[in-house]
Chain A
Amino acid sequence: MINKSEVAGDLNIDSYTTLGVKATCLACRGGRLLCGKFQCPILLRLYSFLKVKDVFHSKRVFGSSPPGAFVGRMGYPHVYAGPLVPPVVGDTSLFNMPEKWLGKSVDEIVDFRTNLIRGKFIVNVKKPSKNQRFARTLLEMALSKASVDTELTFRKNPRGGFLLDNTLQPMGPSGMLTGMTAGASKTDFVVEKAYADGDLKAEDAVLDLYLNGLPVSRIQRVFSLGAFGLKERRRMVPTRWSITAIDSILSRRLIEDKVKGKRMINEHRVYEFNYLGNRFVILLIPSSWRYEWIEAWYPGTTWNPQGRRVSMGGDWEGYNGRTTYASIGGCYYSVRLAAAEFLSQENRQAGVIAMREIHPSFTMPLGVWINRESIRAAFKQKMRKFDTLREAISYIKSRFTIAMDAWIEASSLLKDALYQERIIKYF
């Protein structure tokens, strides 16, 4: 018998599931297995619909790696890591560069991702050098700016069709490595310099590379292999975590250094972009920096499978930023990066309310890049200007299929902008 009520409470699974299936799925997204099942039933169902490509019938693959590398998170700090190599020779960089995927169909994306065969070896994230045989070659390959000819040999034929994740890009079949040789790799001076500098903090290295124009996906790849930071503190970072780490670091630094303190925009602006059943609408309001990200999943979409009603979730931060991880996950930081990037280029300050309506035609999670790249694309479209918040809101209402009242109810910043008076009004 358990007579301590706290202990009994911990065992009481009901207290986790009272959220209702819808909310649990939105909070977990296949990543944390909050439902208590061994595998995410939603992802499992999706896998069954994917036509599994010809299973790879060879213990050997030779091709040009985009370059690509993957670091797993299970078992941290002892994780699976390894290269991604397609059985194709030539410039394969597109396979691993989400910045260039916008506009492609789900089929195309799935197609070039399933082409990438993933080799695996086990490594201690803090001591990659102990795994001389593979970790060193993997790092050299990942630093490269162009595709690297690579040969992998496996213990058994690579297996598994496809790996879906809310943060990660889809992943193809994988197998344990027995051998790996990589051809010549070329890297840029800036990357080489950051790698060689053992006194440069990872955060500063990342920002330097970004300001030098390196694509975010490349910075993330090199970062995940532990190539940056103070010499003795370097470590490998699971790919899933490193994507969000880079989005978070870059956006925070851009906000602090290049957005705060700048002149506020004068009008209310609305930007919009549609892609694969997702409708993105961004409202910029003339105020000091603040940011909010809200997603609305229609019934029948991935993370709202059985619901009858639209499931909404979001998080926000004020001028001083936040100290806790955003409840909605990595997408919050990807969108924050796209927004901070835009404002810093405009040299302006604004309040950003970014919204995403997800329709049932969006069938599977593709990774957070879809948010980052779609918001970037939205900012390149023609904006609509409005003098008042009410006008902007009534326009947004016409763009969404979900009632505006529901958006306002879900949004802390919209409520603040609509209902909170400013003290200057009383001077």
Chain B
Amino acid sequence: MFRIRVTDAMLLRDMITAISTLLDEATFDISTGGIKLRAMDPSRVAMVDFEWPKKIFDEYVCSETMKLCLNISELLKLLKRARREESVELSLEEKTNRLQITIKGKYLRTFNMPTLEPIEEEVPIPKVTFNAKAEITTEGLRQAIEDVSLVSDHVRIEIDDEKITMRATGDLMGATIELKKGDVAFLGVETKEVSIANFSLSYLVEIIKAAAATSEIATMEISTDMPIRLDFKQQQEGKLSFYLAPRIDVE
């Protein structure tokens, strides 16, 4: 038996949008305590680590641990029909193994969609020691990333004691964005050493744009030429983190 309900449809919709930046199909781990998902994108460059404890939901009924695999883009199509202030209920119909999506607002809508064969792959957390950590507003981060994406398809991120610097060099243009102590978007930094790494913007732009809708504050952690971890602070002990492997340029 599995049934969940949220009173604000946007909450669920934004979260599924964030997950959809990396995944077409997602296998959720569902237990009595809440819902978890940890998976890599098809090219195995990035990873999402997501967790929503039971208490985020307005109603949470789960009788046993199970895996639920869904086509994320199809689910998103249905969720996009829901408006703010409408409630959404997801429940698993055990006989047919189909997921029922009920949207309650001005009128009642019930959709159903098939569940897929779960992928039995345990994805571990990357073993990385991060030497620099910065906290910024998601809005500030989103703007900065959109700025650098104007000139290139990859960005060099540097964190030192005082600031985050993003640098991009394209064929014709270049960009340098600085977020430092005193800026409204900049909330704090902790560094063991100055760290620099390069990342593909096609991933960063998508991830940050979608995740920014779910959160106000982001934490960015890097080490020189190692993956980046982006954590988007969620309400009520929820978790949404992304890992992205670096680009190691020879030049």
Residues of A within 8 A of B (CB): 287-288, 290, 318-320, 412, 416, 418-427
Contact = CB atoms under 8 A, between A and B. Distances in A.
A419 B245 contact: no
Interface of B: 24, 40, 42-47, 124, 126-128, 153, 198, 200, 202, 226-227, 243-250
Contact of A290 (B43, B128, B202, B244): B43
Contacts of B247: 419-421
Contacts of A427: 124, 126-127
Given A287-B43, A288-B43, A423 B200 contact: no
A425 B44 CA distance: 10
Contacts of B47: 423
A210 B27 CA distance: 35
B249 A426 contact: no
A422 B44 contact: yes
Nearest to A408: B250
- Decide if the interface of chain A is mainly helix, strand, loop or mixed: mixed
Given A416-B200, A427-B126, A422 B42 contact: no
A425 B245 contact: yes
A288 B128 CA distance: 25
Contacts of B124: 427
A423 B42 contact: no
A46 B211 CA distance: 55
B126 A422 contact: no
Contacts of B198: 419
Contacts of A416: 200
Contact of B43 (A318, A412, A418, A426): A318
Given A419-B247, A421-B245, A426 B127 contact: yes
Nearest to B25: A261
29 contacts: A287-B43, A288-B42, A288-B44, A318-B43, A318-B202, A319-B42, A320-B24, A412-B153, A416-B200, A419-B249, A420-B200, A420-B247, A421-B245, A421-B246, A421-B247, A422-B43, A422-B44, A422-B245, A423-B44, A423-B126, A423-B227, A423-B244, A424-B40, A424-B44, A426-B127, A426-B128, A426-B245, A427-B126, A427-B127
B237 to A, nearest CB: 25
Contact of A420 (B24, B45, B127): B45
Nearest to A409: B171
Nearest to A412: B153
A318 B44 CA distance: 13
A417 B42 CA distance: 14
A418 B250 CA distance: 9
A116 B249 CA distance: 54
A318 B42 CA distance: 10
A412 B152 CA distance: 12
Contacts of A420: 45, 200, 245, 247
Among A319, A412, A418, A423, the most chain B Cβ lie within 10 Å of the Cβ of: A423
Query: Which are the 8 A-B pairs with shortest beta-carbon distances?
Result: A426-B126, A421-B245, A288-B42, A423-B245, A319-B42, A419-B247, A422-B44, A427-B124
Most buried by B among A421, A422, A425: A421
Contact of A419 (B43, B202, B243, B248): B248
Contacts of A426: 126-128, 226-227, 245
Contacts of B249: 419
> Which of B24, B45, B124 has the largest number of chain A CB atoms within 10 A?
B45
A309 B244 CA distance: 38
Contacts of A425: 245
A423 B248 contact: no
B43 A319 contact: yes
Contacts of B127: 426-427
Contacts of A290: 43
Contacts of B40: 423-424
B159 to A, nearest CB: 19
B35 to A, nearest CB: 22
Given A426-B226, A426-B227, A419 B250 contact: yes
A118 B115 CA distance: 55
Nearest to B127: A426
A380 B248 CA distance: 35
A420 B44 CA distance: 10
Nearest to A422: B44
Contacts of A318: 43, 202
B50 to A, nearest CB: 15
